[in-house]
Amino acid sequence: MTETFITNMLIIGAGPAGYTAAIYGARANMKPVLLTGLQPGGQLTITNDVENYPGFAEAIQGPWLMEQMAAQAKHVGAEIVMDSVSKCSLLDPQKEDGYFIFHTDTGNIYKARTAIIATGAQARWLGLEAEERLQGYGVSACATCDGFFYRGKKVAVIGGGNTAVEEALYLTHHASHVTLIHRRDSLRAEKIQQDRLLNNPKVTVIWDSVVEDILSGGKPEAVTELALKNVKTNEKSTLDIDGVFIAIGHNPNTELFKGQVELDSEGYIITQPGTPKTSIPGIFAAGDVQDKTYRQAITAAGTGCMAALEAERYLGETE
C-alpha cells in the first residue's frame, strides 16, 4: 500500500555526506529522513583500511565508520529508511504546495520542503573479474586514500587523463616506482601535468597498452602482476607490481536528476562556488555527486554539514 510522508528535509544517499547532513539536520530539530539507496555507506563499504579520517590513531574499516555515522544519526533523531528514489519532481514545487516530490522503489511518496542530494559517484572499472575480487587487496581507485599502504613498493596506474597523471604523481611520494599504462600513444592530461610526469625519474610510461588481467600469483589476497597487451602489435607481456590504481574516471549518480538540476558536461551537479546550493532553491548537493576534485570522506562529510546548515537557513527564510 502506497504511503505519503512529509518532511522538512529529505536526504538521498547514505555515505559520509548523507549521514553528516542527517546528523546536523536532526540536531537542528528538522526531523530529517534519509533514504539509503542501494548501497548504504557508499564507496566506503568497499574500503578496508581508512587511515586518513581524523580522530583515529590507527586504521579503521570503512564499513565500520559508516555504521558509526548511521548510529550517530539515529541517536540524534534522524530517520533512516532502506529505500531508493525512483522518480522525483524538483521543478515548480509550488504546484505541490511548496513540496518537492520523490517516489521510491517501494511505492511510497515523500514530500519534502528541502532535499539534499548525496548519491555519490562510482569509479569506472576495467570490467575484469579480478578487480572486484582484489579490491582492497592491491586494487584501488583512489591513490589519496590508499597510496600510503604502498610505501617502497611498485605500483601501476591505468589511464591517461588528468586523474591518472595526478594519481601517478601523488604515488611517487610513497611508492618506489610508478608505471603509468595508457591505451594510446599520448596523454590527455594538461601539458604541465604531462611534463611533470614524464620528467619524474620514478615514473615509467607504457604506451599503446591495455590490461588484460590482474594476477595474484596464487595468493588469494595480493596483486603480483599485470597481464598487458599492446593494442598496435598485439604483443603480450607481464608487469611485476604490488598494487594497481584504476584512474579512468568516475560516474556521478545523477541519472535521476537530469533535466531538473543543472549538471556539468560530466554529469556532476553544479553548485554555487563555496556552497552546496544547486540551480534549484531548496535543493542542495553534497559529497562526490558534486565534487570531482577531492573525493574524500572528510570533504564529503564537510559538504554534508554545509548542506544541512543551508537547508535550515532556507527553511527559516521561506517560512
Give per-residue pLDDT as tens, 114-163.
999 999 998 889 999 999 889 889 999 989 889 999 999 999 999 999 88
pLDDT of residue 85: 96
Q: What angle do CA 112, 117, 119 make, to 5 degrees?
A: 130
Displacement of CA 53 from its chain's centroid (Å): 15
Catalytic positions are 142, 145-146
d(CA 224, CA 32): 47
Q: What do you get for the CA distance between the two ends of the chain, in Å?
A: 32
How far lies 122's CA from each of 39, 100, 173, 209, 308, in Å? 11, 26, 26, 24, 23
What structural domains does the chain harbor?
Answer: 4-122+250-317 (3.50.50.60), 126-247 (3.50.50.60)
pLDDT of residue 284: 98
d(CA 291, CA 111): 27
Is this prediction's pTM over 0.75?
Answer: yes
Residue 146 three-state SS: helix
d(CA 192, CA 203): 16
pLDDT of residue 140: 93
Q: What is the dihedral of CA 309, 311, 316, 319, to 10 degrees?
A: -170
pLDDT of residue 103: 96
Residue 76's nearest CA partner among 12, 16, 32, 13 is 32
d(CA 120, CA 221): 27
**pLDDT < 50 regions, the chain:** none
